[in-house]
Structure 1
Amino acid sequence: MGKLKLVDLSHPFGDKAPLWPYFEDVKIERVHYHAKSGVLSQRVTTVMHCTTHADSPAHVVEGLAYTHEIPLENYYGTGVVVDIPKGKWEKITAEDLANATPVIQEGDIVIIHTGWHKYWGDNRKYFAYSPGLTREAAEWLRDKKVKAVGVDQQALDHPLSTAIAPHGPGPLIPELVEEYKAETGRDILQDFPEWEPAHRVLLSNGIMGWENVGGDIEMVVGKRVTISGFPIRWYMGDGSIVRLVAFIDEDEANPVAPRVYKYGTS
């Protein structure tokens, strides 16, 4: 047994962090600073659904659990980081999950690596054109009785199943309606008729969901690992920014250089 390695699966947080299309900017103000007060204190104004974060069931289903009601055990356990490469607007299917390696087992935490995390930045490619889970894939995960699911894209759902498209308060990016029609010959609602079905299937069945997984995920793709991604202890919270971490034997990590981030770029 080699030395334990902690692999960061989180994107960084800050006032230039890329945001989902309907959120206001993160604001960070200095309340005290060294020249003034001899200490540094900062005030942060943010939504919790930015950078790498966990959704609570109350975020999408009225009457379900808030962050403080979810057992800590739900945010921690053993699982797999499966490689399911996908391109623009492609669907992550139940068949993809059934054929994934390592094999997904009951009780697993499942982290899905499509490769889309490399586009994370203040750009439409990441938020509007990502792949995503289908209802059938979410139902497969539910029936498999997995513990939690993390995705390296903008949401647990395909972007065309969110308010980015004509769902809920959408379309947040109206030109996608015509773009999809021109590209496929079909209306978005023909192919994506439901609003966030994967969110609802997973979270309403007690399956924790992490969005915007990234960081050094390539180091653990194809591995069975231990995962933790704890929220802050927020009473009545709808979700939480997390520090998502994989624990692995140092000798077993994939030989990939750690990612270097620059805000505002992919």
Structure 2
Amino acid sequence: MRWRAADGRVLHGWLGGDPDGPLVAVLHGCPDTRHVAMTGDAAAREVGVRLLCVSRPGYGDSTSYPSTHASVADDLAGVASELGHDRFAVLGMSVGGGYAVACAARHPDRVTALGLVSTQPPGTREEPVEELERAFAPEFLAWRAQVTPDDPDDDALAARWLTMLPTADAALVATRTPAEVAASVREALADPAAYLRDAATMSRPWTYGPEQVRCPVRVWFGELDDRAGADDFVRGFADVEVTVRPATTHLAALVAYWPEVLATLSR
């Protein structure tokens, strides 16, 4: 699906789950897109939740743009309004956590709950975003060349992608068809600027902090996650509960537990 931002940019996303349920809006990880929310469609219908994910600028068909935590938060709030939801919960997956915090902080009268899954803590780099993008580009472009996202062979691209994931996460992704996996990879990596903007932004402090969030916050980490853990930053939220899932990896902390996460946030 496609919507328009306030300035006319295209916002490419996905909408599923129960059309009559309360809205939970997902802010995806990096590199990732609206496709991560698609894995929660059946769970959202089961729980009675409407599920939305808007791909950030440069991912999929979302217009490339020098996005910030604030601009992404406002884009999402605008789409929620267009869908008729004055109130909604936000769910930040991995790198999406910083954007989810910004949405809760900037729209306190609309965001009912904030969920964070496998979220990395705020970064500490002080360089401007543009400088960090240039610094990260060589390594990222070399890695992207190994993935070869423009490969038209769905089976080959999907197989290559699965080898780059932890075994448990790969098993979850492999439940989707090769065409679905390949489409997700292509949308995530077609525009290098999207990944580089995310990587630079996550390396810096968040624009909005836990102390600016008024709604209840629920946090989930995987015990085997080598990218995120129950870091000190979560203690800054006024109303927070943290769950560490045993023997669980980064992506599995969300995809293997969709019903529980959505039921918690919808309450």
Bin the TM-score by the shorter chain: under 0.3
Quick check: which one's helix share is greater?
2
Of structures 1 and 2, the one with the larger relative CO (CA 8 A, separation 6+) is 1
Answer with 1 or 2: which has the greater Rg: 1
Quick check: which one's strand share is greater?
1
Normalized against structure 2, the TM-score is what? Answer: 0.27
